[in-house]
Amino acid sequence: MHPERISRHERILASPSRIRDGNSGTTIGQCTIGCSLSSLLRIDPETPDKRLAEVSIHELVDLFRNEKYALWCTRQSLRQRSPDISIALKAGHTPLDHLRGWVHACEIARLVATDGKTAGRGEIHYIRAAHREMDRLFGRFTSAMRHRGWKIDEGTLVVGLPPIISFDVDCGPNGSSEGRP
């Protein structure tokens, strides 16, 4: 679709954090772009977060090593089949990275909405599955958008100056960190 036609139907400015199903328009998730690392991981020193029990921080760092963003979602939101996804941006991010993170979040929400087995699967399952789809299809997606007149290398999905995170972590063979996230 051309940008003009989409703009008649798109409601992103009305509720920019909502992820909607492309066919029905119903809300299938929430997404916040430009959060801090502690917000991404929802770290609270008084109530340690158990969400990373099934996946170490090193696995998360490794998954997003070559991206200019990292994201996470809450287990509770997966159980409710409406993922609450937070995206943290890395130094050097561009509007295309914002779009990639947003589409990654949308793919997570789509996978959760269409999967009847969310109770047995953790956050990393959906994050990795959606990331594989991103690797497979994002180039064709952006080419098609450009062909239709979208200016995806300009502008931004983030208003203001978001916090920037650094993922300079090297994991040794035993999983020990030789650097800091």
Q: Which residue has the higher pLDDT, 29 or 121?
A: 29
pLDDT at 109 over 50: yes
Domain that holds residue 141: 3-165
Q: What pTM does this model have?
A: 0.75
Amino acid identity at 48: P
Extended beta strands in the chain, E state: 18-20, 27-33, 69-73, 84-90, 164-165
- What pLDDT band is residue 107 in, cutting at 50, 70 and 90? very high
Assigned token pair, 44: 């609270």
- Pick the most confident of 42-46, 117-121, 157-161: 117-121
pLDDT tens by residue, 123-181: 888 899 999 999 999 999 999 988 888 888 876 555 454 555 555 444 444 444 444 44
pLDDT at 95 over 60: yes
Residue 180: inside a domain? no
pLDDT tens by residue, 48-78: 445 554 456 777 888 999 999 999 887 677 7
Residue 172: inside a domain? no
How many domains in the chain? Answer: 1
Residue 177: inside a domain? no
pLDDT at 97 over 50: yes
Residue 138: inside a domain? yes
Q: Which residue has the higher pLDDT, 140 or 21?
A: 140
- What pLDDT band is residue 16 in, cutting at 50, 70 and 90? low
Residue 178: inside a domain? no
Q: What is the pLDDT of residue 128?
A: 92
Contact yes or no for 132/125 (Cβ under 8 A): no
Q: What is the pLDDT of residue 181?
A: 41
- Helix, strand, coil share of the chain (percent; to 5): 40, 15, 45
